[in-house]
Structure 1
Amino acid sequence: MRVVINEAVIADLRRQPSTKIRDIWDITVRGLVLRILPSGLASWAVRAWTAEGKRTSIKIGEHPVIKITDARRLALIQLGEVQKGADPVEARRAARRARLDARRAASSALTVEQAMVRWQRARIHAPDSPWSQNYAYRIESALRAHIPNSLRIQPLSIIRRDGWTKLLSEVAQEKPGAGAFLYTIVSSFLSYADAMGWIEGHPLPRRGRAFIAPHVPARTRVLEDAEWLAVWKAAEAEPVKLRVFTRLLLLTACRVSEVADMAVGEMVASGTIWVIPAARTKNGREHVVPLGPLARQELELVWPADTRNHGDYWMLLGKSPTNGFVGNGKLIKRLFETSKTANWTWHDLRRTARTGMTYLGVPEAAAEAALNHITGKSKLVAIYDHSGPSTSGIAALRTWQGYVTDVVEDQRKPGEAETSYRESLPEDLRWKSRPKFVPRAKAKPGRGASRRVETGTSLDSSTTPKPPKRRRKTPVGRAEPE
């Protein structure tokens, strides 16, 4: 249809129902077309023949955003370009291809190191389920130990599947636990890289964990009362802060990092309550821990006389007020020798406390709350119930600390709680044995990383950031490499 297009004509055509696309050619400017869709949407275009004899259609814009007078003016400009030998459509396509090529080039130039820094920063500040401070530090430590510098400096997009699987399998063969943890980290990182368009598809094979770096069986070590009592007494020979660190781990059933970084400002109610902030717990939930007389007695040994310089951030167990305790690996080796016990880890003390609570008759839900576990609580309850700490969990910890106090002060015999518990069981369950514990090498990142890579080069401290002196700060906050 060829008409002198004006607003009245356009309004009349839009009112007329139609199931077909209608092209209205303007008589005033030859080549100007108004296309009206069945939905009523209308757009302007210029149709002409290029110097190469190719039919082209140049989109100008939507109506009524662009009025008829503006459409005619823009159409004349485009027709002038075509008469000069240009092809505006092809020029736009070339510009679009250039932008895509530039984007691909920038993506291919993104190194593994830069991509990992961006990923860690995004996960730390994620609005939904961000990493806790301690978990972020574990991630940074594992990557620093096991990702060689020769891999870090390469473009992320050129690393093929065999490159990742070779690295992961070699770590898993030497340190099964560290390999399984590294597989989880790398898989999460590559999923993020795939979602961001840095790589074309996730390179790790589907269900490849079972073949490359399978999970190691969970530890089952539980120290008997005589064993943890020997450890308690062996801590007496250690420097005061190391002694307090060891004993508070047993009394509070907290994680190593939680005790190592405890600060003055976390003690409330005249030192009878320890509030661990959400940023320092594994599950990101605040944890309230009661401190009985024995725990307070230990804390008094390390309590500073004056905290005015650092205030609430004064860390109690580190070498300086601004640092938490580090070096627990050397400490535990000395305790092995002094206490004549072996094949246990710091986390086994937490498992020992949890088992002891069961022996003392603490209900399962209360014992789990005492460890700040969220098992048994549905996601819906977690979303709506913000009533605060579990009173039953606090009572469970007081029960456990009371038992430890009685055993340490010779008011109860070691093993009395377990004996009473088993005697209260039915006859067919009374003699059920403990799970058999099989010692295995501790999976700790950082040992032998240079031997596991093909190049044999160790990490370069000039390009790989060192761990922060204070784990309280976010470990991945550095600027990206240029």
Structure 2
Amino acid sequence: MKRSEIKRRPLADTVLVTLEPEASTYRELDGNGLYFRVKPNGQKSWELRYKKADGKWSWLGMGGYPEVSGALARQKTTKLRDSTAKDGSTLATKRTIRAAEIEAANNTFEHLAREWFAIKRKTWTEGTAVRTIGALEKHVFPVFGKRTYCNILPMEWMDFLHGMEQTGIVEQTSRVRGMCKEIYDLARVTGRATHNPLEGLHKFLLTKPVENFAHVSVDELPSLLRAVQAYPHASDVRIGLQLLSMLACRPTELREASWAEFELDGGLWLIPAARMKRRREHLVPLPRQAVELLRELQKITGNYPLLFPGRSDTTKPRSNTVFLMALRRLGYEGRQTGHGFRHLASTILNEHGFDSQHVEAQLSHVKEGVRSVYDKSTYLEQRKVMMQWYADHLDKLAIGNVVEFKLA
């Protein structure tokens, strides 16, 4: 609407939303010295006109709209006017104004989220930390970052999450909802919020079958192995998929690996604790085929610290979806993931009579407790034999001269 059509003040919410910009910036009085400012580019904000100690008039920014609603702007104005000097000449001291500005900044969702992130990242791998803050910065902060977290309604979160779902990123939506719920939990347990607006929202959001561990059947594995070997798009990605298929490591462990972690002559890969899920070093025996693949990869990326350096920034690893997207290009979307190779390895090794403790050690699955004190070299000699057998077995499957069987 045009400013000339305003009928009453304080300004109604419908006026604030629809008020049109003009060729130059203008202000409309809301009441009690509070003005609504509209810029030519459509940006809207609140300003308070007040008299300084020297008797001159000035403006105090009260926040952008819609981050600061009309009700909140009027509430902030009332608080500041309560600090007016007895003679009525000064709205507030500079200290009071500055304190109000700091309080407003500290009450934003982004400020609370970054506080939560600083606490949580102490227990995360670097990859988890990067993915978490990246999701918040990409999806949440542009929408709610500058808003006062206590003023964001459950319905607003519902609309936001539904919007994410409609883009097809259902799993990412679920993770973002979980993060934001934890962020509000921090505010609640520290006495800065009385309720969590994301509580119970999961009941009304889409759910998706977990695909993190999706994998083909053992009968379909030979075809998958042949497809991977013939991957036509990028040699380093093809090598990565082959390594995932035979080492039973987590995709992130391989994707973020550096050449310094490998001793190719000795056939060993030492994954540092900082990159492991359970914060323990993990020693992976490399079968002959893996060493050959790594030497091939070294000719491609050996001049960089990382095995899989990013295309735009070689100091960072390739995207965390690089292997998943490659499998999709091969026609295995929803049927096989990088993580799913671990399940195939576990199934095949157990079905062929290998000691389950050796298999679990290879997968870096270690029970907590005093009786399970972890040693990175646990069952190393046995695992060397086991993983060489497994690599040989995969080769035979790929060329089709092996018949699968299961132990009775």
- TM-score by structure 2 length? 0.64
1:187 pairs with 2:172 = no
Deviation at 1:244, TM superposition (A): 1.6
Q: Does the Cα contact within 8 Å between 1:249 and 1:256 map onto a contact in 2?
A: yes
* Number of the residue aligned with 1:225: 221
Give the corresponding residue for 1:209. 202
Deviations 1:128-150 (A, max 9, x none): xx111122122123323432513
CA separation in 2, counterparts of 1:408 and 1:387? Answer: 30
Per the alignment, residue 121 of structure 1 pairs with 118
Task: For 1:332 and 1:411, locate their aligned partners in 2 and report how far apart those are by CA, in whole Å.
Answer: 17
Partner of 2:405: 420
> In the alignment, which residue of structure 2 is the partner of 1:137?
130
Q: Count the aligned residue pairs.
A: 305
> Which residue is 2:155 aligned to?
162
Alignment partner of 2:171: what SS?
Answer: helix
2:387 aligned with 1:391, yes or no?
Answer: no
One of 243, 252, 263 as aligned partner of 1:268:
263
1:176-325 pair list within 5 angstroms: 176-205=170-199, 208-212=201-205, 216-217=209-210, 219-223=213-217, 224-235=220-231, 237-268=232-263, 270-303=265-298, 314-318=305-309, 319=311, 322-325=315-318
Give the Cα separation in 2 of the matches to 1:341 and 1:191.
36
Contact 1:176 1:216 in 2 (8 A): no
CA distance in 1, matches of 2:208, 2:329: 30
Q: Which structure has the larger Rg?
A: 1
Using the TM superposition, give the Cα deviation of residue 293 of structure 1 relative to its aligned residue in structure 2, in angstroms: 0.5
Q: Which moved more, 1:292-301 or 1:315-324?
A: 315-324
Letter in 1 for 2:330: L
**Paired residue secondary structure (2:298):** coil
Counterpart amino acid of residue 190 in structure 1: Y
1:344 pairs with 329, 336, 350, which one? 336
2:368 to 378, 396, 403: 378
Q: Which is further off, 364-373 or 290-299?
A: 364-373
1:357 aligned onto 2:349? yes
> Displacement of 1:285 after TM fit?
2.5
| Residues 302-336 of structure 1, C-alpha deviations (whole Å, 9 max, x = no match) | 226997x87xxx11222575332334455334333
SS in 1 for 2:193: coil
Q: Distance in 1 between matches of 2:281 and 2:126?
A: 13
SS at match of 1:147: helix
CA distance in 2, matches of 1:328, 1:305: 17
Amino acid at match of 2:358: A
Which aligned runs of 4 or more in structure 1 are off by greater than 6 angstroms?
none
Q: Which amino acid aligns with 1:147?
A: V
Question: Structure 1 residues 102 and 379, CA, compared in 2 at 3 Å: closer, same or farther?
Answer: farther
What CA distance in whole angstroms lies between the structure 2 residues aligned with 1:248 and 1:228? 14
Contact 2:164–2:173, Cα closer than 8 Å, also in 1: yes
Q: Which residue of 2 aligns with 1:437?
A: none
2:160 partner amino acid: L
Q: Which residue does the alignment assign to 2:361?
A: 369
Q: Structure 2: which amino acid aligns with 1:226?
A: P
* Cα distance between partner residues in 2 of 1:150 and 1:410: 51
Q: Which amino acid aligns with 2:327?
A: I
Q: Offset at 1:261? A: 1.8
Q: CA deviation at 1:242?
A: 1.9
Give the corresponding residue for 2:73.
none
Q: CA separation of 1:122/1:139 partners in 2, compared to 1, >3 Å: closer, same or farther?
A: same
- Contact residue 180 and residue 215 of structure 1 kept, 8 A: no
Instruction: State yes or no: 1:408 paired with 2:405.
Output: no
Percent pairwise identity: 21
Q: 1:359 to 1:203 in 2, by over 3 A?
A: same
- SS of residue matched to 1:275: strand
Distance 1:281 1:400 in 2: 20
CA distance in 2, matches of 1:342, 1:168: 23
Q: How far apart are residue 263 of structure 1 and its match?
A: 0.9
Letter of the 2:306 counterpart: M
Cα distance in 1, alignment partners of residues 374 and 318 from structure 2:
32
Shift of 1:354: 2.1
Superposed displacement of residue 370, structure 1 = 1.5
What's the offset of the Cα at 1:265? 1.1
Structure 1 residue 109 displacement after superposition: 4.6
Give the whole-Å Cα distance in 1 for the aligned partners of 2:370 and 2:233: 46
CA contact (8 A) 1:108 1:198 kept: no
Distance 1:245 1:137, change over 3 A: same
**CA distance in 2: counterparts of 1:303 and 1:356, whole angstroms:** 30
**Counterpart contact for 1:227–1:341, Cα < 8 Å:** no
CA offset at residue 122 of structure 1? 1.9
* CA RMSD in angstroms, aligned pairs only: 3.6
Q: Distance in 2 between matches of 1:145 and 1:321?
A: 22
Conserved 8 A contact 1:177-1:216 = no
Q: Deviations over 1:167-215 (max 9, x none)?
A: 334445644322322222122221122233443333333x553444657
CA apart distance, 1:290: 0.8
Higher RCO structure, 1 or 2 (CA under 8 Å, sep 6+): 1
Q: Give the Cα–Cα distance (whole angstroms) in 2 for the partners of residues 107 and 379 of structure 1.
A: 46
Distance in 2, matches of 1:305 and 1:234, equals 18
Q: In the alignment, is the contact (CA less than 8 A) between 2:107 and 2:148 conserved in 1?
A: yes
Contact 1:267/1:274, CA 8 A, preserved across alignment: yes
CA contact (8 A) 1:406 1:412 kept: no
The residue type paired with residue 255 of structure 2 is: A
